[in-house]
Amino acid sequence: MYDLIKDFPDHLLEALSIGRNAKLKAPDAAYANVVITGLGGSGIGGRIASQAVAREASCPIEVFSNYYLPAYVGKGSLVIACSYSGNTEETLAAMEQALANGARVVCITSGGAMLETAKAKSLDHIVIPGGNPPRTMLAYSLTQQFFILKHFGIIRSDFEASIGKAALKLKADQDAIKAIGKDLAGKLHGKRTIIYSEAATEAVSIRFRQQVNENSKELCWHHAIPEMNHNELVGWAGGDNSLSVVIFRHKDDHARSQVRMEINKEVFAKHTPHIHEVWSQGDDHLGRQIYLVHLGDWASWFLAELKGVDAIEIGVINMLKEKLAGVK
């Protein structure tokens, strides 16, 4: 896991090369909507990408992580199906529904049944490197989302430059990022972690939560501002010093949300002294999100080391899949 996290910047650069060489057929007429379907490490790239392009997307983009898709998906819809293994049963079911309803389907996968279907039905697809835990291959699935969205006319921004700059910055600052991640892990060790961010970057909080779950073998939760100010903030009446708060912050967070964060910190401080702000770094909005993804990955690995657990192991998920396979 250490090496896979360390290589994240190189993964981003290789993912750019894969995307530039992808062979996608011409778009149809303008799309009414985009739905990205995927789960876990395969699906988080779509969540990050959809939030990153929200202010420029030419149509609505929704991420749907289930066996089915919304009823509106059909002709005029673009569906991006992402399964790293190519065998995620929920995503395969959703993809079949999309095809049956006449949607344009594009696949991101390393192989499996998804790639077989894509080839058999002449679907657009991008093949990414296989053989690793899906969560460690985020750079590949995330980057391909942008290539697909641009190819089909949903976005126009120069995301390639943003990702390239972010990758080089991560490589140059790797030691400093690791040090921050290690320090954060030390502060979280032995506590229950709560992750907050502004709503526009919630997907990065979700990524960190997932990494703490899988790598660090810890329960934790996340919420977004301002929504949590209308519910969860009241729940802090039951807070105590067993809780450790991580607030992911960006200098371009909404001004009113930044005011809310400062007030929230006052509420948290009445119940726990463990409040940790992590400010993003980078040249642009996407680069800053990529920075926090990498920092969070390191923090989850160092937390696993402090706990003495194997960051790679996901035996309970494999057990679940085996039991599901036995149910017809």
Residue 49 near residue 149 (C-beta atoms within 8 A): yes
Handedness of CA 39, 41, 45, 51 (dihedral sign): positive
Q: Which of 119, 121, 251, 321 is catalytic?
A: 321
Q: Which of 230, 270, 323, 328 is catalytic?
A: 230
Q: Is 262 a catalytic residue?
A: no
Residue in 114, 100, 98 with CA at minimum distance from that of residue 66: 98
Question: Percentage helix, strand, coil, to 5, in the chain?
Answer: 55, 15, 30
H helix runs in the chain, sequence order: 2-6, 8-20, 40-52, 89-100, 112-120, 138-151, 159-172, 174-188, 202-214, 232-235, 255-269, 285-307, 315-325
Q: Is 254 a catalytic residue?
A: no
Place of tokens 């985020």: 138
Q: How far apart are CA 121 and CA 145, in angstroms?
A: 21
* Residue environment code for 229-242, b if the CB has 16+ CB neighbours within 10 A, otherwise e: beebbeebeeeeee
Q: Beta partners for 77? A: 33
Residue in 211, 241, 245 with CA at minimum distance from that of residue 228: 245
Q: Which of 90, 198, 202, 214 is catalytic?
A: 214
**Six-digit token pair at 27?**
């778009």
Which residues are within 8 A (CB) of 313 and not within 5 positions of it... i.e. 6 or more apart? none
**Six-digit token pair at 169?**
């910055």
Q: Return phi, psi of residue 15, to 5°.
A: -65, -35
Q: How far apart are the first and last CA of the chain?
A: 34
Place of tokens 């990758």: 167
Q: Is 271 a catalytic residue?
A: no
Q: Which residues are catalytic?
A: 214, 230, 321
